[in-house]
Amino acid sequence: MAIQIGEAAPQFTLVSTELKEVSLADFKGQKVVLHFFPMAFTGVCTTQLCTMRDDFGFYEGINAQVLGISVDSPFTLAKFKEEQKYQFPLLSDFNKEASSAYGALYDEFFFGMKGVSKRAAFVIDEDQQVVYAEVLEDANNLPNFEAIKEKLK
């Protein structure tokens, strides 16, 4: 089911690359940008998160929390984060609960893989309402980074 703008953001608790639980509720009172991505170490996913990394000063400057989410294990995500020098948390949705709740889960992905996060971006306001939602069916496409920034201003 697609998330609609104006809805309460689905709550989640996921494991970070530091093996700590991180909940969306931890960021109440702060803007949050969620970036779902299919798989660590793949070309378009790296581009997606590197774009956020390279623009991190903008997000930090407006006190917006960026979170990257995929179904990869926290151990895989930790290596990915280290190699790419991401300044924001990467969270493991290994059990696919957050991806499902946000309507960002492929039933079937490339090579017959099932249950992989779709590329998606959401902006959540300080009251934890969804103010921007973009779920991409084609994993080769990137989110609209400029539209995301506009919603945060």
Q: How far apart (Å, rounded) are the C-alpha atoms in residues 131 and 125?
A: 7
At 35, list the tokens: 């970036």
Mean pLDDT of 73-81: 96
Q: pTM for the full model?
A: 0.92
Average pLDDT score, the chain: 91
Catalytically active residues are: 45
Q: Which helix (H) or strand (E) holds 83?
A: helix 74-84
CA 23 to chain centre: 13
Assess if residue 85 is contained within a domain: yes
How many structural domains is the chain composed of? 1
Q: Is residue 10 part of a domain?
A: no
- What is the pLDDT at residue 94? 95
pLDDT by residue (tens digit) across 89-130?
A: 999 999 999 999 999 987 776 666 667 888 899 999 999 999
Residue 106 within a domain: yes
Cα 11 from Cα 23, distance rounded (Å): 7
Judged by average pLDDT, the poorest of 32-41, 45-54, 60-69, 84-93 is 45-54
141 inside domain: yes
CATH classification of the domain holding 101: 3.40.30.10
Give residue 70's domain range: 36-152
